[in-house]
Every structure is written in structure tokens, then in C-alpha cells.
Structure 1
Amino acid sequence: MWLALLDRLKTKDRLFKLNIGTDDLCPVCGSCTETSAHLFFNYTFSVACRQQVRTWLGFQQGRNSIISLLKWIQRYDRSKVQKTIMYAAIACLVYNIWRVMNSAVWNMKVPSIKYTFQIIQFEVKSRVTKLLSNKTCNRDRDWFSSL
């Protein structure tokens, strides 16, 4: 997440500028330059995954960068616990999209959007469940249980 926020992921456009690789095209769609913006906001796979995560968490706001999405969550009228869960889901989304792209490059395989979303749900739920404390209010617990 940190590297994505700083736009320091080793995307094909960055590697190509360093004379690493034969092209800078997205390994999945093959029609656009692979940049961080393409990976997380223009690539149809990530757009569909992001939409499913937003629907799952109950917010419909669309943003065109990771930073603007995180800032929107910060200003969103929810409890601190719910915001933290949303942050965790966005971090998990970024990580899993990056994993999908690496799988496309190294394994020549792209998992389905449905499978990727299920992985995101599982990872967020399992990690957050371990972190919820007894001090968490019932409203936040109920909201999390409904996910």
C-alpha cells in the first residue's frame, strides 16, 4: 500500500524507462501502458473488484486515485472502527490487484473477479475479527457481522 501511495510500484512503465523489459503494456489487457493509475483505476478487472468492495462495504463513492479514496473515507460519516475496516479493505484490494498482475506476468494466469473478491472478503474478515476488542460498540460489531 505504501509503495502504491508513493507511486513506486515496479509497474511496466517504470521498468521500461529503466530499459528493463521489451514493452510497457499491461500484461492482461495488452492495450494500455501499465501504470499505477491503470492498475487500480482504469483496468476493467480492478474497476470491477473495486466496485464489489464498495458495494460490500456499503459506499458508492468513486474516486480516481488511492489517495483521494482514502481521504474520502477519512471524511466519511462513520465510526472510527468502520473507517478502519474500510481502510483495511482498500489496502487488501490494492495488494490483491497487484498479486493478480504478478500472476498474469509470472504464471500467465488471471483469476476471476469473483474469486479475487472472495479472497479480499476472507482476508479482511479474518484479520479484523482478530483485532476487534471487547470495547467495540455493538453497532460496529453488528455492522461488521453483516458484511
Structure 2
Amino acid sequence: MEFRNSGSWIWKSIGKLRHLARPFIVYKLGTGITCNFWSDNWTGMGSLLEITQGRGPAATGLPKNAVVAEALREGQWWISQSRSRNPIIQLVKQCLPLPSVVDTRHDGEDDCFLWKVGEAEPSDIFSTATTWDHLNPPLDTKDWYEAVWFKEKIPKHAFVAWLAALNRLTTKDRLISWGLAVPPHCLLCGNHEESRQHLFFDCVYAEQVWQYFYSRAAVTPPNLFLDALVWLKRPCRNRNVAAILKLTFQASIYLLWKERNSRLHTSTSRPPVNLIQEIKVIIRSRLEPFSRIQNARQVLLVWRHAVSPAISDATVVRQYE
């Protein structure tokens, strides 16, 4: 099949994927009058034309456009009578199944295409999900997956938290490892070398942000970044508290990284109290739509006890009821 320059771009792009699709397509033989002997995968071993590297038709004398039924002579493969030692002919003989696979009856079933994924049995049912998983085997799920990708997440916060979990943020220790001449000191405190662990956990600036929220929630997460992520999957039994802790964690990571970049690129800085206030506003705004779907009183009272101790329960509930 040849593509012309005037053809559709989508059609030509699909055509370039034929080498991926071909191994999935097998022929279920019936009468053998439509299945091509050389190009179709009817033996279960692939295309005989590819197996013989394109030399099969010339070596055996069977035309390239011949169908399977034309390769039979009185109930036997025409090539079975050949005594040639030609390696191509011997290879074709080894690939051919028993002639009985062809239904020689006049009222026999027609040939048909089937879809075969991996070691599964061929089927006339196509599954996009199964085919995709076979072409793109899923990687092992990370231990911290649920701490990053959860229903209540804020997408941009989750994305930065995901990069941090993979240690793909351009912290100074990584820049130096790439050979860049940059000062190693942390932009938030200026006292230690900047790394993921220091920037988000060990830095005195970041510690003030964490201390404000986690002291009010009465929880003590691990001190190492990845350990904290694993702990954050199920930090407590209360589902609402757990969601708030995850939101707080990601918002803190996001704004700490944003503050670090602001100091690097614009030489502007803010005290930790400003970040704390912004995190409170962000999370409260995020909880509002969820509180309408779930138990509003429970969600908002959890938030009130976590970060807004100065506001009474009645005031918070009345504001959203």
C-alpha cells in the first residue's frame, strides 16, 4: 500500500503504525480463498514473506499474490513434493501447518481476521485498553502515589509535588551535579547547601510553615521527604483530616518552591507568615466545593480546628451553610 502526498495527514500517520499493528493481526483460516499465503499471518509465526526476507515467492515459484487455497495440490501443500535443498524452501516447509487447517469443502467457512494480544487467544473482540497496556507495559506504582494523586488535589500543586517526589526540581545540588557553576547556599535561609531535603524540610524557613499547620493538626510526620510522602498516604483514620493534610503538604511544597524561585529571579522575599496565610486561603477555597458535596459541617470543622483556632465552630458552619 502506497501513500500519496495528497492524502490525509491522519491517514498517513496511521499508516506509519502498521509495523506495530501487524503482530496483533492473525488470520483464522476457513476455505483459504481470501487469505494471502505470503503476507498474512495465518501460520501463527508471522508473515511468510518476512520470514523468508522477501525471497519466498521467487524460490518456491508461488506468486506473491497467491492465496492459501492455491498452495494446495490434491489435499497436500504443493511444496511438499519438492526435493530441493534450497534453504528458503526448507524454511517454508518447516513453517507450514498440516494441510487439514484449510477447509476444502465448498460450503466451508470464510477466512477472517482475529486480534491477538501477547499470549492470549485470538479473538474477534478488540480492546483498546488491553492493546495499549501490551504496547506500553505499566510501570511499578510508587509507594507515595496516593499522597500525590488524590481526588481533592489542586493540579498545579500535585504536579510540583510529583516533580519533588521524583527529585526532578532544579535545586542547586542538582545544578551543580550537571556541572553548572552556581552558589550552593539555600535561597531561603542562606546557611546550608540547597537540596530537596533541606529546602522543604530542614530549612528553618520551611520549618516555620510546617510547624504552624502540623502542630495544630496534632501530627508528627517523618523528617525525611520520601518517608513523609509514604506516611501521608494514610496520616490518620479520619478521611477529611487526611485530605486536609495532603492539601496542606502540597500547598506548602508549591509555595516554598515558588518563594525560592521568586528570590532567585526577582530578588523579592516574603516572611513565612505570608506563606502560611496564603496556604490557609488556598485550602479553604479548595474545601468549599467539596464541603457542598460531602458533610459540610464535618469538613469545615476539621479545617477550623486545624488552621483557624480563633474562629468559633458556629461561625465557620454558618458561613457555608
- TM-score category of the 2 structures, normalised to the smaller one: 0.7 to 0.9
Residues 7-63 of structure 1: per-residue CA shift (max 9 Å, x gap): 11100111122123432222343332110001011111001111012134x123042
Cα-to-partner distance string for 1:74-127 (whole Å, 9 max, x where unaligned): 333332222112101100000011011111111222201111100111111111
The SS at the match of 1:75 is coil
Specify the structure having the higher radius of gyration (Cα): 2
Structure 2 length as normaliser, TM-score?
0.42
Report the count of equivalent residues: 146
Q: Which residue of 1 aligns with 2:222?
A: 63
- Cα contact 1:70–1:87 (8 A) shared by 2: no
Partner of 2:295: 136
Question: For residue 32 of structure 1, what is the aligned residue in structure 2?
Answer: 192
1:7 to 167, 172, 175: 167
Deviates more, 1:14-23 or 1:2-11: 14-23
AA aligned opposite 1:97: L
Runs of 5+ unmatched residues, structure 2: 1-160, 309-321
Where is the helix percentage greater, Structure 1 or Structure 2? 1
1:46 corresponds to which of 196, 206, 222: 206
State the distance in 2 between where 1:50 and 1:145 align.
17
Equivalent residue letter for 1:99: K
Written as runs of structure 1 = structure 2, the 5 A alignment for 1:120-135 is 120-135=279-294
The 1-side partners of 2:188 and 2:229 are apart by 26
Q: 1:118 to 1:104 in 2, by over 3 A?
A: same
Q: Which runs of 4+ in 1 moved over 6 A?
A: none
- 1:129 deviates by 1.2
Cα offset, 1:145, TM superposition: 4.2
Comparing 16-25 with 113-122, greater Cα deviation is found at 16-25
Task: Tell me if 1:92 matches 2:92.
Answer: no
Cα pair distance change 1:80/1:23, threshold 3 Å: same
Unaligned runs of 5+ in 1: none
Distance 1:46 1:143 in 2: 23
Alpha-carbon contact 1:12-1:21 (below 8 Å) kept: no
Task: For CA contacts below 8 A with separation 6 or more, give which structure has more relative contact order.
Answer: 1
Give the structure-1-normalised TM-score. 0.86
* 1:22 to 2:177 alignment: no
Say which is worse superposed, 34-43 or 76-85, in terms of deviation.
Answer: 76-85
Secondary structure of the corresponding residue to residue 219 of structure 2: coil
1:137 positional shift? 6.2
The alignment partner of 2:233 has SS state of: helix
Query: Separation in 1 of the partners of 2:187 and 2:232?
Result: 31
Q: Rate the CA distance shift 1:125–1:66 in 2: closer, same or farther, 3 A.
A: farther
- 1:130 alignment partner AA: P
State the match for 2:10 in structure 1. Answer: none
The answer on whether the counterparts of 2:188 and 2:203 sit within 8 Å (CA) in structure 1 is no
Partner Cα separation in structure 2 for residue 68 and residue 87 of structure 1 = 14
Distance change in 2, residues 1:99/1:75 (3 Å): same
Distance 1:59 1:68, change over 3 A: farther
